[in-house]
Amino acid sequence: MFCERQRSALRIVGTNQDGALHLRYSGLPLVNVRGPITGTIYKFSPTQPVQPVDARDGQFLLASQLFTPSL
């Protein structure tokens, strides 16, 4: 379920010209995540905790509460 906090974050952050959100991963040191809509593999690490994510995938990643919008 996509809560109002994530919706607000999407409205505030918005997307860039290619439709991507920049998300910060706040979980374990290294993770590869497959976007549920696009199937894209996103790689987050301690050296690169912020990655551009397709907005369609981003709404689901934000719902996990391991990701936050990066301004």
Q: Higher confidence at residue 18 or residue 21?
A: 21
SS3 per-residue string spanning the chain: CCCHHHHHHHHHHCCCCCCEEEEEECCCCCEEEECCCCCCEEEECCCCCEEEEEHHHHHHHHHCCCEEECC
Q: What digits encode the pLDDT tens for the residues 31-71?
A: 999 999 999 999 999 889 999 999 999 999 999 889 999 87
For range 3-31, the mean pLDDT: 69
- Please count the structural domains in the chain: 1
Q: Measure the CA–CA gap between 34 and 54, rounded to whole angstroms.
A: 11
Which domain, by its residues, includes 9? 4-69
For range 7-36, the mean pLDDT: 75
Q: Which token pair is 44?
A: 């987050």
